[in-house]
Amino acid sequence: MAKGHQKGLHKMRKNYPQIKRIFLLLLVSVCLIMTYACSSDTGAVAEHSESSSFFDLSQIPAYSGKAYVTVNDNVPYFTEDEMTTESYEFYSELDTLGRCGVCAASIGRNLMPTGERGEIGSVRPTGWHTVKYQGVIDRDYLYNRCHLIGWQLTGENANVKNLITGTRYMNTIGMNPFENRVADYIRRTGNHVMYRVTPVFEGNNLLASGVLMEAKSVEDNGRGVSFNVYCYNVQPHIVIDYATGDSSLSEAEQVSQQEAPATGETYAVNSRNGKIHIVGACPATGSGDDAMTRPVYFATYEEAEAYSAAIEPDSENRKCKSCWKS
């Protein structure tokens, strides 16, 4: 055997303990990384899949004019083990019908978007229909592609696991105010918020009946933000078939869309924003450029207010200021 080769073997045998230690350290490091990754992923799936097991849709009252109702005394279902200051986001796989499941996140500033929002028109969630009810719905279209975890929170755009078919009403009146509360809190404090949204489907329906929204601020243990609400996937004055997403104008809406009575004091409600007007008291009820495009008329104020309440939740904003100057 050549002397050079013998020297190489001798040197390798001499350094073998050190090489062995380095190899073992590398092996342990790889195992730890794999264990952490697996436990983080499967743990999230297990915890968030079970989180809605306490929720019972049969205990939710029927929609009665308010976009949402509190659940569990407004206390979210997060466990102590789920509370974390490490930012992450989780989106369930679509089920066999193509429907979204629970989405959850620990939201910090680092997850919030800094760029422009992209297009989502290519996504067609289950139950999707492009249908318009001109003059009855704000911006006319019945359905929105609703982010379960709002874009302003995690920057998820055209993620099919995070978009469901939701009514304009649920998206803007139901969900959006709660998303804004979370976003405003995080921007102001820099703290984290545990956030979870669960779409609730009945049977094999393609359209969700509503969504369960939970949030709890982490660093201050819910003192900053804490809620547990169910938002109804409804649209005032529209009848919806949740099995398919098909829809039609309600009979009451069809009847109310008639000409104003010829005699007696009457009221007209702007079907876009819920504003109540006294017929003849302001230009909105006339025939000029300022006239409402599709007013709904009522013989009594009580009837007008009941209709308006389904569109405008805030009673202070229902009366037209011009009509009620005094």
Look at residue 229 in the predicted model and tell me its pLDDT. Answer: 97
User: Are both 219 and 293 inside the same structural domain?
Assistant: no
271 and 193 fall within a common domain: no
Q: Is residue 47 situated within a structural domain?
A: no
Q: Are residues 261 and 313 in the same domain?
A: yes
Please check the confidence at residue 81 and state whether its pLDDT lies above 70: yes
Q: Within a domain: residue 109? A: yes
Same domain for 180 and 298? no
Q: Evaluate if pTM is beyond 0.85.
A: no
Question: Which of these three, 247, 271, 300, is where a domain ends?
Answer: 247
> What residues contact 194, with CB distance under 8 A and at least 6 apart?
76, 78, 82, 83, 84, 104, 105, 106, 107, 214, 215, 216, 217, 218
3-state secondary structure (DSSP) of residue 122: coil
Q: Which domain holds residue 293?
A: 251-317
Q: Where are the beta strands (DSSP E) in 168-272?
A: 193-200, 210-217, 226-232, 238-240, 247-249, 267-270
Q: Let me know whether 117 and 171 are in one domain.
A: yes
* Per-residue model confidence (pLDDT) at position 112: 97
274 belongs to a structural domain:
yes
Q: What CATH number is attached to the domain comprising 179? A: 3.40.570.10
In the chain, the number of structural domains is 2
One-letter amino acid of 22: I
Same domain? 79 vs 153: yes
Domain boundary residue, one of 247, 276, 300: 247
Residues 133, 225 share a domain: yes
Regarding whether 269 and 215 lie in a shared domain, the answer is no
Query: Rounded to a whole number, what is the distance in angstroms from the first to the last CA of the chain?
Result: 113
Residues 112 and 191 sit within 8 Å (Cβ to Cβ): no
Residue 227's nearest CA partner among 194, 200, 201, 198 is 194
Residue 21: inside a domain, yes or no?
Answer: no
Q: Quick one: 122 and 265 in the same domain?
A: no
Q: Tell me if 243 is assigned to some domain.
A: yes
The last residue of a domain, from among 213, 247, 281: 247
Q: Are residues 236 and 263 in the same domain?
A: no
Residue 135 lies in a domain: yes
Residues 274 and 183 in one domain: no
pLDDT single digits (tens) 260-290: 444 455 888 887 788 899 888 888 887 777 8
Q: Is residue 44 part of a domain?
A: no
Say if CB 239 and CB 249 are below 8 A apart. yes
Residue 51 within any structural domain of the chain = no
240 and 287 share a domain? Answer: no
pLDDT-wise least confident of 136-140, 208-212, 222-226, 254-258: 254-258
pLDDT digits (tens, 9 = 90+) for 155-193: 999 999 999 999 999 999 899 999 999 999 999 999 999
